[in-house]
Structure 1
Amino acid sequence: MKRTSSKTTLITRAGYQQLKNEHDELWFKKRPEVTRIVSWAASLGDRSENADYQYNKRLLRQIDSRIRFLRKRLDTLSIVDYSPQQEGRVFFGASVVIEDDDGQTLSFRIVGPDEIYGRNDYISIDAPMARALLKKQVDDMATVQTPTGLKDWYIVAIHYPDAAL
């Protein structure tokens, strides 16, 4: 549940919907359930030694904190939809296949920082790799600063998953 705030406010429509669904799940389903448990546990009497009350009260605070974060974040995000003008070049929302001189290939989609959690196939638009690839096209080379030094990557394919929507 822990996510850090990000400087980029771009997000794909699917990413925005995912955050909105998380908010709605917490607000309309999870929070009322936990609130009922807290009320029930409080009615039992001594709250200082009531594990149900203490645990669920802490859970309620975590849920409320996440709801506050999501509401603020959803208000600041800018949804970026696919545009046919993007075809042939790497921009936000692109799925890219790249290859290095050793034949190692990587495949990922460039998305907003709020969308990368729990995904191995997404990278943030803020990542050095994404920044190096922006505006490039197939067969272009991008040089990326890595922990082991500079590394060259060649763009093999560019696809926009949202193009068919």
Structure 2
Amino acid sequence: MIDRPNYITPAGYAALRAEYDRLFGDERPKLVETISWAAGNGDRSENGDYIYGRKRLREIDRTLGRLSAKMKAAKVVDPARQPDKAKVYFGATVTIADEDDSQRTLTIVGNDEADAGAGKVGWDSPIARALRGAGIGDLRRITLPGGEKEYEVVAIIYPLP
């Protein structure tokens, strides 16, 4: 199971909670009602509504279990309350520049919130691990799938409280 805390931002926790509530309070009860109606229609072996409904109910129950475990292990960390805003820690939005002076902005979030397309990298990702504790002007060598690259930390921003 999960042996260490699952760091997550307040917004990330709210998203997990909203998904759990949507599945548990809305989708699952409707599905149970459909399955109950389909079961009353006779032969269940060829009843598509019943078969599909039971399959979807198992999927929802697995998802609810997974979300519940994530929320139970979650350690909500508000980046706005970070005491040392001069260094890169959880929740920081960091601008880095490579050797070619090409800049990239990343926000370090919980692993469950990671979305590379939106510039959100998980706390345990290689780039986030390399940037932890870095200050403005620090150089960090990061091993990426395409090879090693060196980045300079150009800016560090935390959300306002």
Confirm or deny that 1:127 pairs with 2:125.
yes
Within 5 A, what are the aligned runs for 1:113-152? 113-117=111-115, 119-152=117-150
Letter in 1 for 2:25: F
Report deviation, 1:129.
Answer: 0.7
Q: 1:11 to 1:130 in 2, by over 3 A?
A: same
Output one character per residue of 1:15-51: Cα deviation in whole Å (capped at 9) or x when no partner: 1111011101110001001111111111111111011
Question: 2:103 aligns to what?
Answer: 105
1:136-165 Cα distance to aligned partner (Å, 9 max, x none): 11111111012333210011111113xx24
Structure 1 outlier segments of 4+, above 6 Å: none
Question: 2:97 touches 2:154 (CA, 8 Å); kept in 1?
Answer: yes
SS at structure 1 position matched to 2:61: helix
Name the counterpart of 2:55: 58
Q: Which amino acid aligns with 2:59?
A: Q
Structure 1 residues 31 and 117, CA gap change in structure 2 (3 angstroms): farther
SS at match of 2:78: coil
The Cα offsets for residues 113-141 of structure 1, whole Å up to 9 and x where unpaired, read as 11115853111111111111111111111
2:87 alignment partner, SS class:
coil
Partner of 2:94: 96
Q: 1:7, CA displacement in angstroms?
A: 5.8
Q: Give the paired residue count.
A: 159
Displacement of 1:97 in angstroms is 1.0
- Show the counterpart of 1:81: 78
**What is the one-letter code of the residue matched to 1:139?**
G
CA, structure 1 residues 6+96, in 2 after alignment: closer, same or farther (shift >3 Å)?
farther
Match for residue 29 of structure 2?
32
User: Per the alignment, do residues 84 and 104 of structure 1 end up closer, same or farther by CA in structure 2, a change over 3 Å counting?
Assistant: same
Q: Distance in 1 between matches of 2:5 and 2:115?
A: 15
Post-superposition CA distance 1:91-120 (Å, at most 9, x none):
001111111011222111111111115853
Q: Deviations over 1:29-85 (max 9, x none)?
A: 010011111111111111110111111111111001111111122111111123241
Relative to structure 1, the CA distance from residue 8 to residue 129 in structure 2 (aligned partners, 3 Å threshold; closer, same or farther) is farther
Structure 1 counterpart SS, 2:44: coil
Whether the 8 Å contact between 2:4 and 2:73 is mirrored in structure 1 is: no
Work out the percentage of aligned pairs sharing the same amino acid: 37
Q: Identify unmatched segments of 5+ residues in structure 1.
A: none
CA RMSD of the aligned region, Å? 1.8
- Give structure 2 stretches of 5+ with no counterpart: none
